[in-house]
């Protein structure tokens, strides 16, 4: 899969070219890369392939929504919107990719836009005059996307088992039993001599009982 770029793709109806250009200029002034098709004559396989490739790889997709676009029942920009929505369905739910921008007083409820657009927070740029809030939002979303691409930071502080087997630590009782089982028997020399004397006395008593001689009590 192609790695997404830091570029913003601006999608608009041809009637809104001037407003889209103003949005583009504001983003460019902030150092943001913008993919903005300025060709008056759209069409052709090469052009279509380039547009599809840019939508597949852009970092953020901005559909410019307006009464002009709403009045168009057909238009290549509607295909661009569909391609962007299709790509968003492949993304994690918390991945920011679509940022609808309305440039007039058209309301969300009245606009003929993909349902996916209605699920998102729209921003306003009347006549294409992008407020600072819009520019900062674009910058933040691109930074978030870039951070997401770098992957999660390695986990730290997690203890690793020193050998194969269960990673569940034994409880206190298990530890005590395990210690008793593996510790070798140890005894002092004095205790060992006493045990030997007791065994010798027991042997003597057994021998006397067998021979029938009475045991002398000293």
How are beta strands 60-65 and 101-102 bridged, if at all?
parallel
Spatial strand order in the sheet of 123-124: 34-35, 8-11, 60-65, 101-102, 123-124
Break the chain into its structural domains and give their ranges: 8-149
pLDDT at 169 over 80: no
pLDDT at 181 over 50: no
What is the mean pLDDT of the segment spanning 167-184?
A: 37
Look at domain 8-149 and name its CATH class: alpha beta
pLDDT tens, position by position, 14-57: 999 999 999 999 999 999 999 988 754 466 778 889 999 999 99
**Is residue 82 within 8 Å of residue 114, measured between CB atoms?**
yes
pLDDT tens, position by position, 65-85: 999 999 999 999 999 999 999
pLDDT the model gives residue 46: 85
pLDDT at 165 over 80: no
pLDDT tens, position by position, 102-136: 999 999 999 999 999 999 999 999 999 999 999 99
């Amino acid at each position: 899969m192609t790695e997404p770029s830091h570029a913003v793709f601006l999608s608009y109806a041809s009637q809104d070219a001037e407003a889209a250009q103003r949005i583009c200029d504001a983003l460019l002034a902030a150092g943001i890369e913008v993919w903005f098709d300025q060709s008056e004559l759209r069409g052709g396989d090469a052009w279509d392939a380039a547009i599809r490739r840019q939508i597949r790889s852009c970092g953020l997709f901005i559909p410019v929504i307006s009464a002009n676009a709403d009045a168009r029942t057909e238009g290549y920009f509607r295909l661009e919107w569909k391609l962007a929505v299709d790509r968003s369905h492949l993304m994690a739910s918390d991945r920011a990719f679509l940022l609808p921008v309305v440039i007039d007083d058209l309301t969300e409820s009245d606009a003929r836009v993909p349902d996916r657009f209605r699920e998102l927070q729209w921003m306003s740029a009347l006549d294409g005059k992008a407020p600072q809030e819009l520019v900062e939002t674009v910058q933040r979303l691109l930074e978030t996307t870039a951070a997401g691409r770098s992957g999660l930071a390695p986990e730290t502080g997690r203890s690793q088992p020193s050998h194969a087997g269960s990673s569940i630590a034994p409880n206190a009782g298990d530890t005590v039993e395990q210690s008793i089982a593996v510790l070798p028997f140890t005894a002092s020399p004095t205790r060992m001599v006493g045990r030997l004397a007791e065994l010798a006395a027991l042997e003597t008593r057994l021998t006397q009982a067998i021979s029938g001689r009475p045991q002398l009590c000293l």
